[in-house]
Structure 1
Amino acid sequence: MKSLILLFLLYASLSFSQTIDYNTKKGFAIEGYDVVAYFNNQAVEGNKNFVSQFDGVKYKFVSKENLNSFNKNPEKYLPQYGGYCAYAIGAKADKVSINPETFEIKDGKLYLFYNAWGTNTLELWRKENPKELKEKADKNWEQLKFKK
């Protein structure tokens, strides 16, 4: 009986565990752009023939090589802040969609930004003290990452 109760408690805790809220516009992370390609300084949409899944999120890739690279070490390629705009997370503690072609690789991490209607938040990020904004974004993300 004791083992049955422990099993139930384990199942209950797994059932109610929270998952990170990823920006999955169009059904894929980063609107289907290839997360591995960003690390070669390329913002390019992936191909539906090269798809993988990690942490409940689907990713598309431009090639089998990029797909394999991701599958070997997915954490290396994951966008920061669930793929939401890094500037908005840092400056306003708000989840904002991104323009997948507006990005920065810094210290081996992928940061994405909103860029539309004359507002390029990557430019604002660089101009307004990126170190401070990143620190704020890291802190804010801890509060935001489980909120849908």
Structure 2
Amino acid sequence: MKRFAMAVATAASLAAPAFAGEQYVDSTGFAVSGYDVVAYRGLAQNPVGTAQPAAVPGRADITAEYNGATFAFATAGNRELFLEDPAKYAPQFDGHCAYGVSKGGKVPGNPKLWRIVDDRLYLNITPNVVGFWEEDIPGNISLADGNWPQIEPAEASHNPIPQFESMAPVAE
């Protein structure tokens, strides 16, 4: 009976989103550096080992609040989709680098270095890190999912994203 209770508790914890702090926000003042998190779903993913298509910038006048941050969207329709299920579209690990979380820490995620796996958006910090991440995506996701609940919210990096030129959302 004790095993059954533990299994139920584990399953319940996996079904609910785990938050280890607020969403990573860079100097733009927006989550995901102002890129539209819904628009990633409409981009064709490239094979592992090749760069992904360019992320779609959001607009400063089409926004929504979630997990302590402002998200920007390219269209009002994308904003509406986000509001229906923000956890579906928000990047995993509050926008921190997925590989970094798999190693037990928090560093910023670069919105230009993305991949959707099992309908979840993951960001990484640099092209070199993407290479490590892609060596074992399922294994790294498993490690990150296990590490995430134990990482303290205060451990979040407030450093800028390296090798990244931020593009603030455009005002229309």
TM-score relative to the length of structure 2 = 0.68
C-alpha RMSD of matched pairs (Å): 1.7
Q: The residue matched to 1:28 in structure 2 has which SS?
A: coil
Match of 2:137 in 1: 130
Q: Distance in 2 between matches of 1:147 and 1:140?
A: 15
Q: 2-side partners of 1:110 and 1:56: how far apart? A: 18
Counterpart amino acid of residue 124 in structure 2: F
Q: For residue 107 of structure 2, what is the aligned residue in structure 1?
A: 96
1:107-122 matched pairs, under 5 angstroms:
107-115=118-126, 119-122=127-130
Q: Say which of 38, 48, 51 aligns to 1:36.
A: 38
Say how many residue pairs are matched: 126
What stretches of structure 1 move > 6 A for 4+ residues in a row?
none
Give the match's secondary structure for 1:103: strand
Relative contact order higher in (CA < 8 Å, ≥ 6 apart): 2
Q: 2:93 maps to what in 1?
A: 81
Q: Percent identity?
A: 34
Structure 1 residues 145 and 109: CA distance shift in structure 2, 3 A = farther
Per-residue Cα deviation, 1:90-115 (whole angstroms, up to 9, x for no partner): 0x211111221110000000000112
Q: Give the C-alpha shift of residue 68 in structure 1.
A: 0.9
- Structure showing the higher helix proportion among its residues: 1
User: Which of 64, 70, 79 matches 2:76?
Assistant: 64
Query: Which segments of 5 or more consecutive residues in structure 2 lack a partner in the other structure?
Result: 1-18, 44-53, 156-172
Name structure 1 gaps, 5 residues minimum: 1-17
Structure with the largest fraction of strand = 1
Which residue does the alignment assign to 2:24? 23
The CA deviation string for residues 108-141 of structure 1, in whole angstroms up to 9 with x for no partner, is 00000112xxx432221111x2222111101111
